[in-house]
Copies of this chain bind each other. A is one copy, B any other.
Amino acid sequence: MGVVGLQSQTAKPAGIQGLVELVSGDMEKVNELILSKAGSNVELIPEIARHLIDSGGKRLRPMLTLAFAQMFGYEGEGHVILAASVEFMHTATLLHDDVVDESDMRRGKLAARKLWGNQASVLVGDYLLGQAFKMMVDVRSLEALRILSEASAIIAEGEVLQLGAAQDTTTTYDMYLRVIEAKTAALFAAACEVSPEIADKGDEMRAAARKFGLELGYAFQLVDDALDYGGATVDLGKDVGDDFHEGKITLPVIYAMERGSDEDKAFWKRCLEDGDIKDGDLDHAIKLLKDTGALADTVQRARDYGASAIDALSVFPDGPAKQALKEAVDFCIARVS
């Protein structure tokens, strides 16, 4: 399933297998570390943490950290610890997001907050964030700590910004980009940047790795936003129309509003701003998004960011890591094609 009419634009299906295989040895260590650090004498903590950790996320972010470490020939255990920290930061964000968005589902399973309540979700998120910082300290790199703590503050800032922008149909393209840079791209960027940092590769390599992560993060989020109106429920484990029901103003909606008639604008305003959603409104929204080319153009923007991400790789040596990272970009975009 995918956005209708886009299949033909995809050169060929791309997979994430190359990346998975490249880092499989290190990833096993990351998984062990994650399970051991999600442990606690307080029963509820491992229970909730495992629910999320076992629920089949792709672990794309820690794989990026590991792939970059491998590309730079880093020898040590720092990349494994930082990869696990990055995944904990991400997991903490998911727990808090589900509370904030009042989501019922996460990756096709009941959200933790539906099983254990909002209170436990907030607190276990806090615990995982604390554990993430504890682990980072073990790597003994102040710069890696700086990169990841900065990402942590930026992610939260982006979520607050999104909260303010929700239900506000005057949200501009620029404001939308600020939100997704903060809530998604910043952690992708940090996950990539820490590896050249601990491998002592200098500013140019750090900047290029960061740029790769940032552009990939934009692409990833744009694809997510298109998928939210484009089917593929089973693959993504996410209900179609979540953003619509939460009043989130994403790029597809911004495009559709710009291009729509006064009647269309009133429709979006009623649904997203007033939250007055009737039967059939989601179908109508998807029709408008398709008819105005809003979904297709969102996917095109994702492709542009994906191309920039691949460009950023040019300074790195050719080899299996670089190849796997390229394929990961294609994979992220192919999800929607």
**Is the Cβ of A123 less than 8 Å from the Cβ of B100?**
yes
Query: Which 7 interchain pairs have the tightest Cβ spacing?
Result: A130-B153, A130-B152, A127-B156, A126-B156, A133-B149, A100-B119, A134-B149
Chain B residue numbers with a CB within 8 Å of A127 are 153, 156-157, 160
A111 within 8 A of B: no
Contacts A140-B142, A145-B137, A146-B137: A160 and B130 contacting too (C-beta < 8 A)? Answer: no
Bound form: Cα–Cα A42–B146 in Å: 21
A199 interface residue per 8 A CB criterion: no
Task: Give Cα distance in the complex from A100 to B127, angstroms.
Answer: 14
Q: Are B130 and A163 in contact (CB under 8 A)?
A: no
Q: Which residues of B contact A161 (CB under 8 A)?
A: 42
Q: Give which listed residue, B44, B146, B155, contacts A134 with CB less than 8 A.
A: B146
User: How many residues on chain A are close to B (CB under 8 Å)?
Assistant: 40
- Of B40, B123, B137, B163, the residue contacting A120 (CB under 8 A) is B163
A 122-172 contacts with B by CB, 8 A: 122-124, 126-127, 129-131, 133-134, 136-137, 140, 142, 145-146, 149-150, 152-157, 159-161, 163-164
Whether B152 lies near A44 (C-beta < 8 A) is no
Counting every copy of the chain, the complex holds 2
Known: A133-B133, A142-B142. 20 other contacts (CB 8 A): A40-B157, A42-B160, A44-B163, A44-B164, A45-B157, A45-B160, A96-B122, A96-B126, A99-B122, A123-B156, A123-B159, A126-B152, A126-B156, A127-B153, A129-B156, A130-B149, A133-B149, A134-B146, A134-B152, A136-B149
- The CA of A114 and the CA of B118, in the complex, are separated in Å by 16
> Which of A96, A123, A164 has most chain B Cβ within 10 Å?
A123
A interface residues with partner B (beta carbon < 8 Å): 40, 42-45, 96, 99-100, 118-120, 122-124, 126-127, 129-131, 133-134, 136-137, 140, 142, 145-146, 149-150, 152-157, 159-161, 163-164
| Contact, CB under 8 Å: B131 / A153 | yes
- Are A153 and B137 interface neighbours, CB within 8 A? no
- Chain B residue with the shortest CB-CB distance to A116: B163
Distance, CA A140 to CA B143, complexed state (A): 10
Q: How far is the CB of A231 from chain B (nearest CB, A)?
A: 28
CB distance from A225 to the nearest CB of B (A): 20
The reply to whether B164 and A149 form a contact with Cβ atoms under 8 Å apart is: no
- In chain B, what residue has the closest Cβ to A164? B44
Contact indicator B119/A164 (Cβ below 8 Å): no
Docked pose: A157 CA to B120 CA in angstroms: 10
CA distance A132 to B163 in the complex (A): 22
Closest to A95 in B: B122
Report the minimal beta-carbon distance from A149 to chain B, rounded to whole angstroms: 4
Contacting residue for A145 out of B120, B145, B159, B160, CB 8 A: B145
Q: Which residue of chain B is the closest to A99 with respect to CB atoms?
A: B122
Given contacts A133-B145, A155-B130, contact A160 B100 (CB under 8 A): no
* B130 and A156 within 8 A (CB): yes
Q: How far is the CA of A144 from the CA of B42 in the complex (A)?
A: 26
| Residues from chain B with Cβ under 8 Å of A40 in the complex | 157, 160
